[in-house]
Structure 1
Amino acid sequence: MDRRILTLLAGLLASLVISAALWWYFETLAVFLFLPFVPFLFRRGDRAREPEGRTCPRCGFRTTDPGYEYCPRDGEPLE
């Protein structure tokens, strides 16, 4: 199972437990604890694509800035 889903489920379970405890002690419904999880429930699984980077073959320097043609560390052309 995806780590994001496990985090969502753990947070949702914790908010339910806290809400139940608040209801039991203060007889008040704490709906606000559920609201932070609503975006997770309806978010699609598409993650934003990271821009492609360029890497120095010699030292491994990596950048996504198109202004770099050469590695600032050793002057090697970026691939």
Structure 2
Amino acid sequence: PKGGPGMREMLFPTASVVGMGLDKDVALLTDGRFSGASRGCCLGHISPEAAEGGNIGLIRDGDIVDIDIPARTIDVRLS
């Protein structure tokens, strides 16, 4: 990974979402990795990573992300 020292582990952000009671309503998409303790909708290892110019770096607060797990697609409506 280019964006940091090693591939970031996302347990703290997922624990925060769970702690706020939002794990049924909020998805976490990242170019980082997840441990086996993550709960909720967590999509990791998205590539290319943001530091490499990947599209995940374009997503901002308020953008709509449609996730269709059976179809294996992620569509984003940028604001």
- TM class, shorter-chain normalised? under 0.3
Structure with higher strand content: 2
Is the radius of gyration larger for structure 1 or structure 2?
1
TM-score scaled to structure 1, two decimals?
A: 0.20
TM-score scaled to structure 2, two decimals?
A: 0.20
